[in-house]
């Protein structure tokens, strides 16, 4: 069964309203019309129309003013508005789009044009609503996931530590701990995605060499499973004024990817130093792995290597989002057996270690 769309037409001339009603005479359209702009605004708030056809030249309030009022209403701001006017100049059309219109129809009306433009905008609006519903469901789903993951993950980590203390380390325990660290990293990414707009990430004075040493220890089990050595080289240490949690998302996702895509029995090198050319402190993470096919696309959401299924494809997208937020420059270079992610931090966030 087709959805019945409500269309509101606003024009100060009755003959125009009647003509548009006749053109849009369709069993799927419920047409409402008004010659009074003020009354039309109040009607729109009650009707919540799927689309509005709005004349520009009207007494008391012109179409641009009416559009501005409608767009300020939370329930109507996404409602598509098609301006209708006898004006056919570029300036009027540009202003119509600047004011929030989605299309522009000139008088005298061409029946086929009106029908096509209305149909197109209704389809676009309907698709946007479907996408928004999917995003809302996704947000709810992610919230459920992070709630359900956290408790069992904490229990697994606690119990495996107890087993290691009682029985001593072995390969099986290492593999389990590596898997929990991987799940923990995924959990933190999902938590960031859900909470990023609500949390206030306070800046701290972070000693980078100390911070990187801690993150290397965190990934120790994951590295041991593939017999990968993580080497830390400090040319010039620095202090970074940054959120510890956001810096973890940058570094953890980069190290995690380096370990995932590295071959067994190789190295991941981490360099802390100062770039003399750019006059910026940097962190560089280099692996001996398979390389990246499309380095320019690696930060896109859900990106994965061809024929690979390693993770959600969200980690590096989160990295890019945080780096853009703080104007951190990212340089990625990749070829077989050598991939480098270099993060250059702006001067306003860094200082030399005292």
Same domain membership, residue 343 and residue 206: yes
Domain that holds residue 101: 5-109
What does the alpha-carbon distance between residue 203 and residue 246 come to, in Å, rounded to a whole number?
10
Domain of 99: which CATH number?
3.40.50.2300
Whole-angstrom distance, CA of residue 274 vs CA of residue 121: 53
Residue 115 lies in a domain: no
pLDDT in single tens digits along all 354 residues of the chain: 467 899 999 999 999 999 999 999 888 899 999 999 999 999 999 989 999 999 999 888 888 999 999 999 988 999 999 999 888 888 888 998 999 999 999 988 999 999 999 999 999 998 888 888 877 776 677 667 766 676 676 777 777 777 878 887 777 777 787 778 777 777 777 777 777 767 778 899 999 999 999 999 989 888 888 899 999 999 999 999 999 999 999 999 999 889 988 888 999 999 999 999 999 999 999 998 877 777 777 777 655 555 454 555 678 888 999 999 999 999 998 887 789 999 999 999 999 887
Domain end, chosen from 109, 140, 167, is at 109
- What is the rounded radius of gyration, in angstroms, for the C-alpha atoms of the chain? 29
- Give me the CATH number covering residue 260: 3.30.565.10
The pTM of this model reads 0.58
The sign of the dihedral angle between the CA atoms of 341, 344, 349, 354 is positive
Please report where in the chains the tokens 């993580």 appear, as a residue.
Answer: 230
Kindly list the distances between the CA atom of residue 99 and the CA atoms of 81, 87, 127, 258, in Å, as whole numbers in the listed order.
10, 16, 22, 48
Same domain, 87 and 168: no
Which tokens is 201 given?
Answer: 């990430």
Residue 119 lies in a domain: no
């Amino acid at each position: 069964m087709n959805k019945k769309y409500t269309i509101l037409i606003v024009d100060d001339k009755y003959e125009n309203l009647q003509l548009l009603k006749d053109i849009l005479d369709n069993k799927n359209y419920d047409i409402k019309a008004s010659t009074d702009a003020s009354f039309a605004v109040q009607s729109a708030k009650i009707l919540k129309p799927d689309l509005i056809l709005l004349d520009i030249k009207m007494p008391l309030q012109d179409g641009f003013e009416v559009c501005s009022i409608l767009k300020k209403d939370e329930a109507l701001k996404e409602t598509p508005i098609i301006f209708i006017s006898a004006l056919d100049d570029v300036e009027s059309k540009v202003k119509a789009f600047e004011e929030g219109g989605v299309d522009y129809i000139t008088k005298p009306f061409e029946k086929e044009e009106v029908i096509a433009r209305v149909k197109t905008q209704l389809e676009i609006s309907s698709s946007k609503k479907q996408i928004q519903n999917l995003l809302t469901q996704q947000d709810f789903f992610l919230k459920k996931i992070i709630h359900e993951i956290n408790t069992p993950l904490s229990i697994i980590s606690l119990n495996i530590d107890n087993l290691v203390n009682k029985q001593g380390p072995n390969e099986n325990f290492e593999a389990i701990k590596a898997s929990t660290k991987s799940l923990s990293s995924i959990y933190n990414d999902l938590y960031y995605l859900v909470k990023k707009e609500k949390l206030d990430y306070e800046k701290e004075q972070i000693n980078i060499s100390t911070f990187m040493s801690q993150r290397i220890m965190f990934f120790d089990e994951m590295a041991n499973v593939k017999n990968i050595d993580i080497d830390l080289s400090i040319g010039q240490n620095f202090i970074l004024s940054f959120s510890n949690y956001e810096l973890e998302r940058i570094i953890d996702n980069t190290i995690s990817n380096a370990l995932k895509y590295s071959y067994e029995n190789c190295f991941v090198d981490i360099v802390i130093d100062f770039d003399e050319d750019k006059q910026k402190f940097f962190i560089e993470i280099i692996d001996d792995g398979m390389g990246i096919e499309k380095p320019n696309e690696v930060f896109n959401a859900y990106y994965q290597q061809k024929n690979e299924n390693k993770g959600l494809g969200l980690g590096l997208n989160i990295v890019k989002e945080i780096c853009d937020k703080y104007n951190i420059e990212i340089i990625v270079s990749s070829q077989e057996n050598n991939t480098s992610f270099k993060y250059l931090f702006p001067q306003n966030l860094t200082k030399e270690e005292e």
